[in-house]
Amino acid sequence: MKLRGKVALVTGGAKRVGREIALALAGRGCAVAITYRSSRREAESTAAAIRRKGVRALAVEADQRDGTEVRAAVRAIETRLGPLDVLINNASSFYPTPLETVTEAQWDDLIGTNLSGPWRFAQAVSPGMKRRGQGKIINLVDSAAFSPWPAYLPYCAAKGGLVTLTWGLAKALAPKIQVNGIAPGPILMPEGIGTAEKRKAIKKTLLKRMGSPQDIVQAVLFLLEGSDFVTGVILPVDGGRLLA
């Protein structure tokens, strides 16, 4: 797929890794929409930065825990920018949930954001992609899907489900739509993570260092532009954490 002239959606594209992905797609000549739940100021800033690259941009508020909002967001994007060729399911929710204290609301939030949301967006965009005979979907998973963290079990369960969803969508949407996943390791530490936890995360990699958002960006660009013969793959970008 050549990205110039295409239309992409990056969920949670207002900041952090999502912002870097959105800007990279814009740099390839792709019109880019981003969704956000509460980061309006950051989303508007990112959309402005995309437009400065000479392509169209749109920031849409959408709570991906709500199917009605997801479908409305996709309709708004396709009305303003045109049919979607690329979906990057990047939006995520992450916070500690010790087994003894996790609540029903926390479980619903983490599953809804990290698993149900990507499902809803894929369900919304894939019929149009199939009619047009092409499309690419990339789900941002997590190395924790394969090695769960006891203090974050709802999050890990959601990401594990997203792995299975990625494989299932690759089968269901073949042969015209390619669906893949990227499993980042330590790239950007979440807010509130201390120095000791950061060192522990680095120690668990084979390369003994942090990655950068650009490592994820390059993986995204490979799956979009580098090959049309890759589908159903979960690509670890984790410094060897899975092996370590």
Q: Which of 61, 49, 58 is nearest to 24 (CA)?
A: 49
Residue 25 contacts residue 10 (beta carbons within 8 Å): yes
Helix, strand, coil shares of the chain, percent, nearest 5, are: 45, 15, 35
b/e sequence 172-182, b meaning 16+ C-beta within 10 Å: ebeeebbbbbb
Residue 141 contacts residue 166 (beta carbons within 8 Å): yes
Angle between helices 213-221 and 16-27 (to 10 degrees): 40
Kindly give the residue spans of alpha helices, DSSP state H, lying in the chain.
Answer: 16-27, 40-51, 67-80, 104-111, 117-132, 153-173, 195-203, 213-221
To the query of whether residue 95 is one of the catalytic residues in this protein, the response is no
Residue type, position 75, single letter: R
Instruction: Select which of 36, 95, 152, 155 is catalytic.
Output: 155
The token pair at 234 is 């979960």
List residues with catalytic annotation: 155
